[in-house]
Amino acid sequence: MALEDKCTAHLLHPTARRRPARGWLAAVSAGVLLTVPVSYSHAAQNAEQVVFSGIADIDTNHGPIGFWVWCQVEPASENSHYETDCAGAIRFYDLGITEHVTGEVTEPLEGVYIMDLDSAKGTFFCELENVPDPDIVHGPRNKVVATCSVQGVGEVTGRSETAVVNATGPD
């Protein structure tokens, strides 16, 4: 019997399919059973997180500002692996600038978040602030104001009425 025929015969044998499936199912089941209690026990240690995502129309001639930034509002623990509170990207469409940003976030009032962000190359810094009306809503229906200082351009400000603002975690 040719090698190809032996392989085909082995793969088509009824027990050849069942054995790996049982082992795989057992491994997945054991993984789920071991993981679920652990994730519930760590739930109290989660950090509050907030994401801003959208495009702000600019009040000047410099085109829109695109932004996607994730922040942890407070560390989950003293052993947090994040050096800064925020990370993401900001794009100035008409200026041809897109850069990684890092920074800090504060929550001066319940549901109001202010992100102070610096670009990786030092080209700009921005402040993004959500304006709840009266609360953060699901989907692209939130207000975010962007105030940025761009090297060689000056202050650039914009406002998005269709931003996604997602805040999760402990209150």
Domain boundaries of the chain, sorted by first residue: 3-41, 44-168
Mean pLDDT on 133-141: 91
Q: Which amino acid is at 143?
A: K
Digit-coded pLDDT (tens) for 21-52: 344 334 434 443 443 444 333 444 567 899 99
Asked whether the beta carbons of 64 and 58 are under 8 A apart, the reply is: yes
Mean pLDDT on 148-159: 93
pLDDT of res. 59:
74
Number of helices (H), then strands (E), in the chain: 2, 8
In this prediction the pTM is 0.70
What are the structure tokens assigned to 135, written together? Answer: 């609360």
User: What's the CATH number of domain 44-168, 2.40.370.10, 3.30.379.10, 3.30.1330.10, 3.30.450.20?
Assistant: 2.40.370.10
φ/ψ region of 23 (left if φ > 0, alpha if ψ in -120 to 50, else beta) reads: alpha
Q: How far is CA 158 from CA 19, 59, 107, in A?
A: 60, 6, 21
Digit-coded pLDDT (tens) for 87-120: 999 999 999 999 999 999 999 999 999 999 999 9
